Amino acid sequence: MKLVLGIETSCDETACAIVRDDGKILGHVVQSQIKDHKAFGGVVPEIAARAHLDLLAPCLEACLEQAGVPLKNMSAIAATTGPGLIGGVMVGATFAKGIAFGLGKPFIAINHLEAHALTVRLTHDVPFPFVLLLVSGGHCQIILAKRVGDYQILGSTIDDAVGEAFDKTAKLLGLGYPGGPAIEMKAKKGDPLAYSLPRPLVGKKACDFSFSGLKTAARLIIEKQLELTEEFVCDLSASFQKTVGDSLVQKLTFALESMLSKEMPGHLVVAGGVASNQYLRERLERLAGEYGVIFAAADRSLCTDNGAMVAWAGVEYLNKGLASPLDTPSKPRWPLDTLSIDSMVRL
């Protein structure tokens, strides 16, 4: 059995995990930095990078203890090498490279977005190709996942990501950070038809998203409100969440329609932090059923940033006999459709 250590430090979670090549997660530790960033209503890059420096070694130690295996037993060391907040990415990638060099083990540079995309192959053994909706604080894309390392971007946001829109709106509503779970909770008690909010690009026959106008419309409604009553907060949360759902469904519908004349992928997958939203999951599952494809999403605990997804992506590359040079640079931007195995090392 191969064992891969995965390290994730691209944003505000310091995470380590050890995953076996049969998909069993032996160790899984996530150290959240929410308390460090809560007062700012969002992630402060310098604070995040410094926290990763402090938390990474204890996180690894706890992961190894949980897994009950020594570090020397790892078959490879994988780490998120981009995209993300570059300070944090460099902390994790450098830490992983040092371990790999010291142990004489392969280092595998992992694209953070691909790690999210491949999580359903860890949890549900989803075959390629599949349609992927990647929704998080920094990304909103519809992707055709063809194989490991080969992705076609069908559409993406032209401005704000879904998670960012949730966070900014939640902050204006006084709900704090992170905003997505807070809005989802309030929305359960609200009227989704209480407020009519814009759905930018809905009429355009393309897979691109836009959430800046929605965020602005929500802000203008909040600013006119004399008092943020519980009823108002719940109603606007529900209306906001429904509008996001409408936008995601409309663009995915166009993507699936465009594939009717081709070979339809067997699965519709949703991944990323926003994929933990149960309301959005249910809407996307209904859409998948309408087109005769299987809906798949990772367990909610694996939707947000974690080390297990990085370790599993490492397993996928290790099984192909591929690793990365130790001088692989960290990248703040690394689009999925620019991945290339040509720069990798064959083991």
The confidence band for 342, taking pLDDT boundaries of 50, 70 and 90, is: confident
What's residue 37's pLDDT? 76
What's residue 212's pLDDT? 93
- Phi and psi dihedrals of 122, rounded to 5? -75, -45
Q: Which residue has the higher pLDDT, 86 or 176?
A: 86
For residues 286 and 308, membership in a common domain is answered with no
Task: Tell me the per-residue pLDDT of 87-135, one tens digit each, with 9 for 90 and over.
Answer: 999 999 999 999 999 999 999 999 999 999 999 999 999 999 999 999 9
| Residue 70 burial class via C-beta count within 10 angstroms: exposed 0-12, middle 13-18, buried 19 and up | exposed
Task: Tell me the per-residue pLDDT of 216-274, one tens digit each, with 9 for 90 and over.
Answer: 999 999 999 999 999 999 999 999 999 999 999 999 999 999 988 778 899 999 999 99
For residues 133 and 271, membership in a common domain is answered with yes
We report the CATH number of the domain holding residue 218 as 3.30.420.40
For residues 87 and 150, membership in a common domain is answered with no
What's residue 333's pLDDT? 95
CA dihedral (262, 263, 266, 271) positive or negative = negative
320/318 Cα distance (integer angstroms): 5
For residues 277 and 338, membership in a common domain is answered with no
157/145 Cα distance (integer angstroms): 18
What's residue 42's pLDDT? 73
Structural domain count of the chain:
2
Whether residue 124 lies inside any domain: the answer is no
For residues 202 and 54, membership in a common domain is answered with no
User: Structure tokens of 275?
Assistant: 């994929």
What's residue 316's pLDDT? 98
Task: Tell me the per-residue pLDDT of 28-77, one tens digit each, with 9 for 90 and over.
Answer: 999 988 778 777 777 888 999 999 999 999 999 999 999 999 999 999 99
What's residue 263's pLDDT? 80
Q: What is the mean pLDDT of residues 324-342?
A: 94
For residues 98 and 221, membership in a common domain is answered with no
What's residue 203's pLDDT? 77
Find tokens 């780490």 and name the residue. Answer: 79
| Residue 277 burial class via C-beta count within 10 angstroms: exposed 0-12, middle 13-18, buried 19 and up | buried
- Helix axis angle, 230-258 relative to 162-172, nearest 10°? 170
Domain that holds residue 267: 129-297
Task: Tell me the per-residue pLDDT of 166-220, one tens digit each, with 9 for 90 and over.
Answer: 999 999 999 988 899 999 999 999 999 999 999 888 878 889 999 999 999 999 9
Read off the pTM.
0.94
